[in-house]
């Protein structure tokens, strides 16, 4: 079996372009929903500052608006992603994907990603703490300290990357109909059995995806700094669509590996 490539992932994604378009559109709606919630919260805070609302009620409405906006946007994006993943693994090849079937896989997909992120975050935090303690405990040469830090950082990065890949592969397994524990076990076994292919794919993602991530980050920063809510929502939607498209191409490449 050949190593997965971004070109193969893009071709697989184009083959299910309908569900993929749903996923990208849903991801673009998430910043819009969050911006609407933030706008409503700003109005509540403005009414409080103007003395036209009670503090408790105004703060409560502001918090509720933010929570509802972020939660609604996140759920819409997760549902769109589930639709695309089911199409990528062949679980829902129809032209009119089943939203109910996709919705049933959303909790498992989120749990799989959360597990990968939790492991990667824990390993990263532990490595950071270890490097800080190493640098503060030793007063030797900087080269020796850097060497010790590299010995800690290198395996930590490998473990964190493997955990993130397990999370993505597990999400594909859930979309294919496996239970979350079964999907994670199968994903971990695949990572162990195909480390070179996954490392090759990771290198290609870093090289080809870096410009997309940089552009998306710049758009997100511009959206955060924009004073016009409509402009902020539009820039945020474009940034989210770019990131979602890159993520789906990677999912397509991983789906070809299963």
Q: Return the beta strands (E) in 80-126 as ranges.
A: none
Q: Distance between CA atoms of 258 and 249, rounded to whole angstroms?
A: 15
- Mind spelling out the 3-state secondary structure of 20-73? HHHHHHHHHHHHHHHHHHHHHHHHHHHHHHCCCCCHHHHHHHHHHHHHHHHHHH
- Token pair 């990528």 is at which residue? 88
- Do residues 2 and 244 touch, judged by C-beta distance below 8 A? no
Segment-wise mean pLDDT, segments of 10 residues, the chain, 258 residues: 68 84 90 83 77 75 85 91 90 74 92 93 88 72 74 87 92 92 93 87 85 90 81 89 91 82
DSSP one-letter code for 99 = H
Q: Distance between CA atoms of 254 and 12, rounded to whole angstroms?
A: 10
**pTM score, whole prediction:** 0.82
Which pLDDT belongs to residue 90?
Answer: 82
Which pLDDT belongs to residue 188?
Answer: 93
Which pLDDT belongs to residue 140?
Answer: 61
What's the token pair of residue 83?
């639709």
Q: Distance between CA atoms of 177 and 251, rounded to whole angstroms?
A: 16
Q: Is 25 helix (H, G, I), strand (E, B) or coil?
A: helix
Q: Distance between CA atoms of 56 and 36, rounded to whole angstroms?
A: 21
């Amino acid at each position: 079996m050949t190593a997965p490539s971004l070109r193969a992932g893009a071709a697989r994604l184009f083959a299910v372009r309908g569900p993929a378009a749903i996923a990208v559109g849903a991801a673009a709606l998430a910043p819009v929903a969050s911006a609407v919630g933030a706008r409503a919260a700003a109005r509540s805070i403005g009414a409080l500052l103007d003395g036209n609302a009670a503090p408790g009620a105004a703060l409560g409405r502001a918090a509720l608006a933010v929570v509802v906006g972020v939660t609604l946007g996140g759920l819409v994006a997760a549902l769109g992603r589930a639709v695309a993943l089911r199409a990528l693994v062949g679980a829902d090849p129809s032209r009119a994907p089943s939203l109910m079937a996709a919705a049933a896989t959303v909790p498992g997909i989120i749990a799989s990603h959360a597990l990968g992120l939790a492991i990667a975050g824990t390993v990263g935090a532990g490595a950071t703490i270890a490097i800080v303690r190493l640098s503060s405990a030793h007063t030797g040469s900087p080269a020796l300290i850097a060497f010790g830090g590299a010995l800690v950082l290198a395996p930590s990065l490998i473990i964190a990357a493997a955990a993130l890949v397990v999370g993505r592969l597990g999400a594909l397994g859930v979309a294919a109909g496996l239970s979350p524990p079964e999907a994670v076990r199968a994903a971990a076994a695949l990572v162990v059995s195909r480390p070179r292919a996954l490392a090759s794919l990771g290198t290609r993602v870093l090289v080809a995806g870096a410009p997309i991530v940089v552009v998306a980050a710049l758009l997100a920063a511009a959206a955060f700094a924009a004073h016009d809510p409509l402009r902020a929502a539009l820039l945020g939607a474009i940034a989210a669509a770019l990131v979602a498209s890159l993520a789906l191409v990677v999912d397509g490449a991983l789906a070809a590996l299963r």
